[in-house]
Structures are given as C-alpha cells and as structure tokens.
Amino acid sequence: MLSKKKIKKLKRKHPLLEDIINTKEVIWFNPKYGENTTHNELNISKKDIVEAEKRLKRFKPYIKEVFPETKKNKGLIESELESIDAFKEDLEKVCNTSIDGALYIKRDDNLPIAGSIKARGGIYEVFKYAETLALKNNLVTKDENYRKFASNKFKTLFAKHSLAVGSTGNLGLSIGIMGATLGFKTTVHMSNDAKEWKKTILRQKGVHIKEYDSDYSKAVEQGRKMSEKDSRSYFIDDEKSTDLFLGYAVAALRLKEQFERKSIKVNKENPLFVYLPCGVGGGPGGICFGLKKVFGEAVYCFFAEPTHSPAMLIGMMTEEHNNISVQDLGIDNKTAADGLAVGTPSKFVGKIMEKYLAGIYTVQDDILFKLLRKLYKNKGIKLEPSALAGFPGPAELKFSSFYSRFEIPEKNIYHLVWLTGGSMVPEKIFQDYLLE
Ligand SMILES: *Cc1c(COP(=O)(O)O)cnc(C)c1O
C-alpha cells in the first residue's frame, strides 16, 4: 500500500492520473518506447520462444489423442487470422470516428481446449512441468512420440503431484482442464469475479476449486501460500511466471506464418498495429514480446484495460509496477470484463514492456457491451466482454500525434484486434450479455 504522500507526489508527476482515478477513458503513450535499453530483459530471447514452440510441437500427438477437436489441426493449438473490414463501419459508429487501414482479428476466442488466450500460456506451462517430471522419471525421451503421455504409467506418476493456480476464471479453465486431463491433482484458487459456469466445468473434470471473497491478487497469494506448504505441489504463478510468458509469445511465430500465407507483407511502410486486452499482463506481454522479436520496428503493440482496472497502465506510467495497485488510487477494480479484473500488475511484465510497448488505453464497460452486441448481430461472433477491449484501439489513436511522430501512413496500416475469449460461454450467459 503506497502512502498518501507518495500518491500525491505521483499525481503531481503524472497529470494523467487525475483522469485515470476518475475512471475516464484515457490513452497513454510510453515515453520510453523504442529506446535501446538492454536491462530488464530477464534473459529471455527469441531462442527461448523457438524452444517453447518445439515443446508444443512435441506434445501435438498427445493433444490430438486426448482432445479430438484438435484433430483437424493435427494437435496444434492455434487460432485463425481473419480480415473483418465489413465491421469497420460498425466500429466507426460505436467509436464516433473514421478508421483508415485494414482491419483484422485474431480469433483466440476460438482456441481449442480452453476457448481463450489462456490456452496458449496456461497449457504450455502445464506441459513443460509434465515433461520435466516424465523425463526425470525416465518415462520418455524428447525424440519419442508424446502420445505416450495419455497412458496409465504417466497418469500414475502425475497423480502423485499437484498443480495449483490463482485465477479470475480463464487461466483456471486452461490449467485445470489440461492438468486434470494429464492426471495431476489440480486446484484452482478463484477470485470473486470468477464465473460460476467456469467452476462447474472444472468440477466436472475433477478439479478442486477454492473460492475467495476477494480479488485476483488475493486468490493468487493464497494459492501460492498453500502450494508452498506441499513439496509435491507446483504453483503456476501468473504474477511472475516466465514459462507462461513464453507460451504466449509463441503466438508471434505462428502469426508471422499466417500473414505470409495470406501473402501480406508487414514492414515499416506497411506496419502492423496490435491491440491486446490486458489483465495481469502475461498474455499480452508475452505476445507483444514475441511480436517485437519477429516483426521488429514494423509492429506497434497497445494494451487495452477497463477504466476500473487499469493496473498495467498505472504500474508502467509511474514505474512502480507491482508496488502500486488500482485500490491504492481509490479505484474499485470492478468490471464486467472479468478476464481483465486485475488490480495489481505482474511483477516483471511491465518492466520488460518498457522498451517494447507503444502504449495503453482504457475502455468503459458499456463500450465493450455495445461492441459485443454489434459483433454478434452483424458478424455472428460471440465474445466475452474482456475480449472486445482491443476494438477501440484504432479510434483511440486517431486523434493522437502518434502516427505523425513515427511518420506512419494511416492508409497502409494493418490493425489487428486480438479477440481473447468467448467460445465456451454458455448460451444462457451470452443471452444475458446481449441484454446488458
Ligand atoms: C486473461 C485474459 C486476458 C489478459 O491476459 P493477462 O495475462 O491476464 O493480461 C485477456 N482476455 C481474456 C478473455 C482473458 O481471459
């Protein structure tokens, strides 16, 4: 908890805090963007991302075996890249401005197994842990077919170990489903915003749910504490896990291929602008990091947060990172975008983002719902509220000097809105969203 004196000082230094505290929509441009600093790199490089991709590749035969819906993609957990120019007019109406350039969406709402962006990082870290245990117990070598992981020998081994995670819902879904399928004793520590239907799915899979009447940070803290008491328990720590981060980063290698397959050339003259909904920061951070390693100066990444949960924004802007929370500023962290309802940012993501992230903007919940309804009515796409936060991005930039500062021709831009979740939302809940 920051002192009153400290907060007063921060407010004087960062006038934008005034609007942030009043939960107004804001956009912040990262003053350090593009600076060639090398500190805060955490020793992660492109090589680690390639390594992570290889690990996921080894698990493809296993994934295909236990999740038949992944058969058509041969066990690859990946989403489509789609053009959605036909939605531009709707977007312009909701955001009250015209949008130049081409509009694309990344369909992580459709990712198999967990139906959200968490199917990238969460599942990756569970695999990494399972592989480490299996190698240590001589059950497999890296050259063998990993379909073996579905056999009883592996399940017997994993049943002696526990996995735990703290979550607002989606990370729990991804880790819970994968962990339980492999045979781990899995516990998900759920914050008060977690949706009942997500708990139901997990209980059906045999996952143990611990519920808390507090927000995400508390659920993570409690889960971490309980896990530490048990030497056979592995805690997947969303506030500081580099494995989660790397699992997300793999998306960048895949996206590059997808653009190439469409014969679209992304370069400095035809840059890619990516808009990523942000909670604790691991998902969007990992993807942004990967994209900068793959596309370099040709990509500009922006994070989107709810006006009531601007955790990463205040952390990066004040450079206090996880020392500051939205609650310190009197903001309530209450939003219908439950996937983004995080009050304290990741311990390390904001620091890495210092040189990679172009900026962060905030969105009001009612805009998310307006977009949710329009996207469903006109394009038939069903999303959860969090997943729409990327859409206002192009409009947010419109009236800034960002394009002229970087001499970017607006007409040449590929805007990519990252849709982060939705395909598992039950019909009845979705109908309620339409009435919001
Ligand atoms: C978790 C989540 C995000 C953001 O990921 P973080 O790693 O928490 O920043 C965005 N959208 C949805 C739907 C999510 O579940």
Closest-CA residue to 31 (of 357, 272, 404, 348): 357
User: pLDDT tens-digit profile of 267-295?
Assistant: 999 999 999 999 999 999 999 999 999 99
Instruction: Give start-end residues of each CATH 3.40.50.1100 domain in the chain.
Output: 4-43+71-114+245-435, 117-242
What one-character-per-residue DSSP string does 404-429 give?
HHTT--GGG-EEEEEE-B-TTS-HHH
User: Does the 4-43+71-114+245-435 domain belong in CATH 3.40.50.1100?
Assistant: yes
Handedness of CA 77, 198, 366, 363 (dihedral sign): negative
Mutation pick for ligand 1 pocket among 125, 386, 388, 425 (CB with most ligand atoms within 8 Å): 386
Task: Write the single-letter amino acid at 223.
Answer: G
Helix and strand totals (H; E) in the chain: 18, 11
| Other beta carbons less than 10 A from residue 398's beta carbon | 17
What is the structure's pLDDT at 193? 87
Q: Is 315 in the pocket of ligand 1 (CB under 6 A)?
A: no
User: pLDDT tens-digit profile of 147-168?
Assistant: 999 999 999 999 999 999 999 9
Are the beta carbons of 84 and 104 closer than 8 angstroms? Answer: yes
What is the structure's pLDDT at 399? 85
Assign domain 117-242 one CATH number from 3.40.50.1100, 2.60.120.560, 1.10.1060.10, 3.40.50.150.
3.40.50.1100
Position 41 confidence tier, pLDDT thresholds 50, 70, 90: low
Mutation pick for ligand 1 pocket among 79, 107, 118, 312 (CB with most ligand atoms within 8 Å): 118
**Does the model's pTM come out above 0.85?**
yes
Task: Write the single-letter amino acid at 78.
Answer: E
Share of the chain above pLDDT 90, in %: 94
User: pLDDT tens-digit profile of 170-219?
Assistant: 999 999 999 999 999 999 999 998 999 999 999 999 999 999 999 888 99
- Chain centre to alpha carbon of residue 239: 12
Q: Is 282 in the pocket of ligand 1 (CB under 6 A)?
A: yes
Closest-CA residue to 417 (of 315, 252, 273, 275): 275
Per-position b or e across 50-74, b if 16+ CB within 10 A of its CB: eebbebbebbbbbbbbebeebeeee
- Chain centre to alpha carbon of residue 165: 15
**Ligand 1 centroid to 190 CA: how many Å?**
15
Mutation pick for ligand 1 pocket among 111, 215, 240, 278 (CB with most ligand atoms within 8 Å): 278
User: pLDDT tens-digit profile of 76-112?
Assistant: 999 999 999 999 999 999 999 999 999 999 999 999 9
- Chain centre to alpha carbon of residue 247: 11
